Structure 1
Amino acid sequence: MSNDLTRYLSFTREEWAGLRANTPLTLSERRLKSLSSLNDRISLHEVEMIYLPLSRLLNLYVSATRQLHGSTATFLGHRAPQVPYVIGIAGSVAVGKSTTARLLQELIAAWPEHPRVDLITTDGFLRPNRILKERGIMTRKGFPESYDVRRLLRFMDDVKSGRPAVSAPIYSHLVYDIVPDCNQIIDQPDILIVEGLNVLQTGDGQPNKQHNLFVSDFFDFSIYVDAQEEIIERWYSERFLTLRETAFRDPSSYFTRYATLSTDEAIATARGIWQQTNSPNLRENILPTRERAHLILHKGPDHAIETVRLRKL
């Protein structure tokens, strides 16, 4: 473990794995496969080395937070309604955020007290394609200005205030748009995981606009999934090639026009999308938020976590 004059404690994967203690493995190989995103390779060994120690850490943090709430209630002389412990997960397109989010949801729900764990993605708070086209920012989908930040903040405020049955819009990656009149209901879970590109950002891309509140202000703990850009771009291209043979062949897919591309054409198209949209968004908006996270998981070329950085208290 590195403990130099920085805001973070740095661990090798072996050092981090040693912090698992007696946290049990509650996943099967089959279940793990169902939680993994397309082309995001992860093994039970990786779960044991990285995610079980993380599950243990989160269990300790959640318990400490609940004790703090209890102390506050004692001081005030009344018990406030229980509010969810909120975990934010950020990182680039194709870096494996969704796998991390689903895996943590599964592991946390298996804690001895069996907490209720909900998961949402901020994709649902993207503005509909119709509005993005009207504003001329369709090619900047995923950039801060493409989100309905006000609605996302209102959602987070309602959830963190303990309000029951809070509604979140749903996004379809198949049609590449918001699903009309379709919502996910978050009804006072014990823990809420919020996953998305923009969750650690401190603005909405509109210059000279002041913000007094950010999505991350509602987080109790935040995780940034990290890797070198050239590695993430390769993963993105590999995923694009796989989708060309699967989801893109669905007639209702927004990307059905890519299904007939040759391999060389598909690689060139993926590279073009990366260079036009994903790379600028990563460099300008996502990567600069990395140091705001409580925990940074840095991946190597084989998707395995190589180092873990935990922010000092």
Structure 2
Amino acid sequence: MTQNGQHHLSPYITFTRAEWARLRDATPLPLTEEELETLHGLNERVSLEEVSDIYLPLSRLLNLYVAATQNLHRATHTFLGSRVEKVPYIIGIAGSVAVGKSTTARIIQALLARWPNHPQVALVTTDGFLYPNRVLEARGIMHRKGFPESYDVRALLRFLADIKSGAPEVRAPVYSHLRYDIVPDEYVVIRQPDIVIVEGLNVLQTHPAPGDRPRLFVSDFFDFSIYVDADERDIRRWYIERFQTLRYTAFSHPESYFRRYATLSDAQAREVAASIWEQINAVNLRENIAPTRYRARLILEKGPDHAVVRVHLRK
């Protein structure tokens, strides 16, 4: 753990990969290679060693936090003499496009669901709370998709408030990456799980979008928050590599919104992807996403190969 020198005044305790891995203690590895294969993202290989070294200690920490929070709720209800309502523990996961936060969210979901005291773990992405394309086009911000103003923040806040109030059933809109739009009349139904993981670009943001003045912020509902971090040059490379691979997968689908990119050559694909990165994703990262890094309870710092090299835990 790094606690001396220039880091001694940091609000975080920094762990090397080896130091963090030792905190796994005796936690067993519940995932097989085959199960892990279904969880990682495109162009992002995650090994069982990575799960063992990074995600198992994290699941152990989160399990302790969840148990402590559940005990706190029981103590409050005992004091009030009221019936204990099931209140889900909410974990927020933030980070750039292409940094691997979706993979992180899926692995954490799979591991936490193996712990006996919270087997029901739901995963929701904030993509479902993007405004439909017709709304973005009408507002002239289709090119700003993924920026704070492209989300229906009020709907997301209502969703989280309903979850925290113990509502028996809460619905979240469904987003199709294939169609690049909200799917009409389709929802993910959340029925009082033990844990809800909320993954998205801007979930740790606190300043309101232009013209909007919410009294609450999405992060106000989080019990724990994680930021998946990496050097911008690495994220840019991962984005371009993923874009090139998508030409042979999602982009080639007849219904794909990006079908026009399927026939690009390698050189053309690199040029288009680099342009999209610089004009859209890099701007959003620098202006809106990266500034929220230090609001997270825990930061996973990745190296050039997507492997986590350091973990920063808020004191």
Contact 1:203 1:211 in 2 (8 A): no
- What CA distance in whole angstroms lies between the structure 2 residues aligned with 1:116 and 1:305? 27
For 1:245, what is the secondary structure of its paired residue? coil
Provide runs of 4+ in structure 1 moved above 6 Å: none
Q: Residue 310 of structure 1 corresponds to which residue in structure 2? A: 313
Q: How far has the Cα of 1:203 moved from its partner?
A: 3.3
Which TM-score applies when normalising by structure 2?
Answer: 0.97
TM-score, normalization by structure 1: 0.98
Q: Provide the residue aligned with 1:254 in structure 2.
A: 257
Structure 1 contact 40–303 (Cα < 8 Å) conserved? yes
Residue in 2 that maps onto 1:224: 227
Unaligned runs of at least 5 residues, structure 1: none
Partner of 2:79: 75
Q: Which amino acid aligns with 2:273?
A: A
Structure 2 counterpart of 1:146: 150
1:130 to 122, 128, 134: 134
- The CA deviation at 1:114 is 5.0
Quote the sequence identity (%). 67
Residue in 2 that maps onto 1:2 = 2
1:65 and 1:205 mapped to 2: Cα distance? 31
In 2, are the aligned partners of 1:144 and 1:203 still within 8 Å (CA)? Answer: no
- For residue 102 of structure 1, the aligned residue among 96, 103, 106 is 106
8 Å CA contact 2:293–2:299 kept in 1: the answer is: yes
Residue 268 of structure 2 is aligned to residue 265 of structure 1: yes
Distance 2:313 2:54 in 1: 13
**CA shift at 1:67, angstroms?**
0.9
| Whole-angstrom distance in 1 between the partners of 2:286 and 2:109 | 28
Report the residue type matching 1:52 in the other structure.
L
Q: Say if 2:88 and 2:194, in contact at 8 Å, map to a contact too.
A: yes
- For residues 283-308 of structure 1, what are the alpha-carbon distances to aligned partners after superposition, in whole Å with 9 as ceiling and x for unaligned? 00000000000000000001000000
Q: Does 1:48 align with 2:86?
A: no
Whole-angstrom CA distance in 1 between matches of 2:220 and 2:290: 18
**Residue in 2 that maps onto 1:162:** 166
Q: How big is the alpha-carbon RMSD for the aligned residues of Structure 1 and Structure 2?
A: 0.9
Q: Distance in 2 between matches of 1:210 and 1:168?
A: 22
Which residue of structure 1 aligns with residue 25 of structure 2? Answer: 21
Amino acid at match of 1:220: D
Q: How many residues align?
A: 311
Distance (Å, rounded) in 2 between the aligned partners of 1:200 and 1:7: 17
Alpha-carbon distance in 2 for matches of 1:170, 1:113: 29
Structure 1 Cα separation of the partners of residues 193 and 131 of structure 2: 26
SS of 2:38's equivalent in the other structure is helix
